[in-house]
């Protein structure tokens, strides 16, 4: 079996990590706990909570 090179995290994975860290700081919860929950819930953490401008139309 050929060795697979390390690949950078996908955009979705990067967003999950960043949002978990932001939420960890906001709610004073360890980031690894939020990352574990996000992984179990398949990144179900609301992107609106992480990015308040997400989904809003520019005026």
Q: What is the pLDDT of residues 29-53, one digit of tens each?
A: 999 998 888 888 876 555 555 665 5
The fraction of the chain above a pLDDT of 90, given in percent, is: 19
Domain membership of residue 1 (yes or no) is no
Q: What's the total number of domains in the chain?
A: 1
Is 56 domain-assigned?
A: no
| Helix boundaries (H) for the chain | 11-27, 31-40, 47-50
Per-residue pLDDT, 57? 47
**Coil, strand or helix at 53:** coil
Q: What pLDDT is stored for residue 17 in this prediction?
A: 85
pTM of the predicted structure, to 2 decimals: 0.58
What is the average pLDDT value for the chain, to the nearest integer? 75
* Domain assignment of residue 34, yes or no: yes
């Amino acid at each position: 079996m050929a060795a697979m090179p390390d690949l950078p995290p996908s955009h979705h994975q990067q967003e999950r990590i960043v949002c978990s860290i932001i939420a960890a700081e906001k709610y004073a919860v360890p980031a690894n706990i939020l990352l574990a929950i996000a992984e179990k819930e398949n990144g179900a953490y609301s992107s609106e909570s992480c990015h308040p401008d997400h989904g809003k139309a520019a005026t």
